[in-house]
Amino acid sequence: MYSWIWRHLPGSRAVKLLEALLLVAAVAALLMLVAFPWLEPRLPFNDVTAG
């Protein structure tokens, strides 16, 4: 999968590297801003009790 993405990115090696880093940053931002906040209330880790 990663080689497919690398082959389809336009530009030289330096441009491909910058584009790949931007793609990784975009995916991380999407996860942090959309996916994880949506998922967090559905996880059972908020009910932490010692007793």
Q: What is the C-alpha separation between 27 and 5, in angstroms, rounded?
A: 14
The domain locations on the chain are 2-42
Question: Which pTM value belongs to this model?
Answer: 0.72
Torsion of CA 13, 16, 17, 19, to 10 degrees: 160
Predicted local distance difference test score (pLDDT) of residue 31: 96
The sign of the torsion formed by the CA atoms of 34, 37, 38, 40 equals positive
Q: What is the C-alpha separation between 48 and 51, in angstroms, rounded?
A: 10
Amino acid sitting at position 14: A
pLDDT digits (tens, 9 = 90+) for 14-36: 999 999 999 999 999 999 999 99
pLDDT averaged over every residue in the chain: 89
Q: What is the C-alpha separation between 27 and 36, in angstroms, rounded?
A: 12
